Structure 1
Amino acid sequence: MIQLNSTTTYSETSLTLTALVDTALCVGAGGSSGSLADKPIVRTAKGELLIPASQLKGRVRHECEKLARGLHLPVCDSPNPQTMCPQRAGFAEDFDRRFQNPNFCIEDYKGFHCPICQIFGNPVLPSRVLFDDLICTQDPANLPEVLRPGVTLNRRRRTAENQKLFLLETSPVNTKLPFQGDIHILPGYPPYTKALLLAALRHIHALGGSKSGGLGWLHWKFTPQEIDNTVWDALLLE
């Protein structure tokens, strides 16, 4: 049993961000919500539109990995646990040797952990960042249900499939709905964490489904952050 008086209180820092959706958003929910849509949009228990934290964290990690590789840093292969740090199964010996860097050692955790795992965690190392769901601040009563029709395509025949019409529920179009939330950065994070997270967010221009069809395109607003340019030196390990 967990005793509440024995839990640890963390002193954390946060990044407050707002996603302004420029087009209709389609983040599908599993199951039926009583809507006519085959793929209803995900909502909170209060009916508010949201962008799930899991989707945002996955996209941010992916962009951080691309940035780190662009800096010629060794990065493990997520999300497969066997190819992530510290196991890195199947890696070539020469490449795996690049991970054996004193900067990749974390006290009280065995093995070597790449810069991305030091932020987002892996099967051994806990994550240093916690993402909130991004919640739409508009009153749900003022957001009507919008259904967008679509058809399944046969890519081999390059035609629409018979009897494959479906309906997607989306947010209203061209309303620039604001979705707000925080990224909580826990103690023990690497010094380059904020800089890398902000850089990664600037590479994310769309979220949700049917992005190629014009859905989910957005831009970001952040609270002002003072980032010392010297933090990037912590990433220049070689």
Structure 2
Amino acid sequence: MIFLQNLPQNQIQTIQLIAVIDTALCVGAGGSDSSLADKPIVRNAKGQLVIPASQLKGRLRHECEKLARGLGWQIFASPKAETLCPTEAQVNPRFKSDYQLAGYQGYHCFISKIFGNPILPSRIVVDDLICDIERQDLPEVLRPGVTINRRRRTAEEQKLYFLETSPANNQLEFTGKIHLLPECPEYAKPLILAALRHIHALGGSKSVGLGWLKWKELETLPKDDQTWKLLIPEAKV
């Protein structure tokens, strides 16, 4: 007989995400998708707008790396495998014991323990951020652009193109989750929540004002939460 109280509890933690897009969003897809745009926007099989998980995870890792370096950790730079998996001589002696994991060869830094590297699997799973509005309710918006010759500082001839974007100033909401797997370090949650607050735009053409966003109802850990202390490297003589 199976007793529910004896079953192992789900150890996966989740962080709920709601991104509110303040401006037009430009996340380009590879195919034409029956659009007149040279770079159509990414959609899922239902035709809903999507911010791919790979883009969010990559940007999140970058922000986590910046925060960790500022806190004093030695971080192995991504995305090159030869820098993510350093030799023993490249590791600061202060962190050698912290950066070794049972069952995995080599050294794995403060960030690799969360996001993974060529040896260590990722300890988090990031969902696509999806806008629930149906395709027929969101009109196609084409934004013209032109290639600039950086040397002559003029527009190139016959280099006009069109980007498909979401409608501007519609406050579209994109929802998803970040799943922290059982082997994820305890410090991952406070670090990720802090890094998310440093992400103010996603997608392409951010320099011209596309893809700017704010996070809605993002979880806030209390100041006295003990996991904050895990972000500070131990002082070693």
User: What TM-score, normalized by structure 2, do the two folds share?
Assistant: 0.90
SS in 1 for 2:106: strand
Provide the C-alpha distance between the structure 2 equivalents of 1:126 and 1:99, rounded to a whole number of angstroms: 24
8 Å Cα contact 1:99-1:112 kept in structure 2: no
Give, in angstroms, the shift of residue 225 of structure 1.
4.6
Aligned to 1:115: 110
Aligned partner (choices 207, 213, 226) of residue 230 of structure 1: 226
Give, in angstroms, the shift of residue 139 of structure 1.
2.3
Q: Which runs of 4+ in 1 moved over 4 A?
A: none
SS in 2 for 1:115: coil
SS in 1 for 2:69: helix
Give, in angstroms, the shift of residue 124 of structure 1.
0.9
Gaps of 5+ in 2: 1-8
Structure 2 counterparts to residues 71-220 of structure 1, below 5 A: 71-84=71-84, 87-88=85-86, 93=89, 96-98=91-93, 100-220=95-215
CA displacement 1:66-123 (0-9 Å, x = unmatched) = 0000011100011001110xx326x9x4x52246432222221122211100100111
Q: Does 1:60 align with 2:60?
A: yes
How many residues end up aligned between the 2 structures? 225
8 Å Cα contact 1:147-1:167 kept in structure 2: yes
Q: Kindly tell me: are residues 216 and 100 of structure 1, through their superposed partners in 2, closer, same or farther at Cα, counting changes over 3 Å? A: same
Gaps of 5+ in 1: 1-8
Considering only aligned residues, what root-mean-square deviation do their CA atoms show, in Å?
1.8
Amino acid in the other structure paired with 1:83: T
8 Å Cα contact 1:74-1:98 kept in structure 2: no
Give, in angstroms, the shift of residue 210 of structure 1.
0.5
Q: Kindly tell me: are residues 223 and 70 of structure 1, through their superposed partners in 2, closer, same or farther at Cα, counting changes over 3 Å? A: closer
Aligned to 2:25: 25
8 Å Cα contact 1:147-1:169 kept in structure 2: yes
8 Å Cα contact 2:148-2:154 kept in structure 1: yes
Aligned to 2:5: none
Provide the C-alpha distance between the structure 2 equivalents of 1:104 and 1:229, rounded to a whole number of angstroms: 24
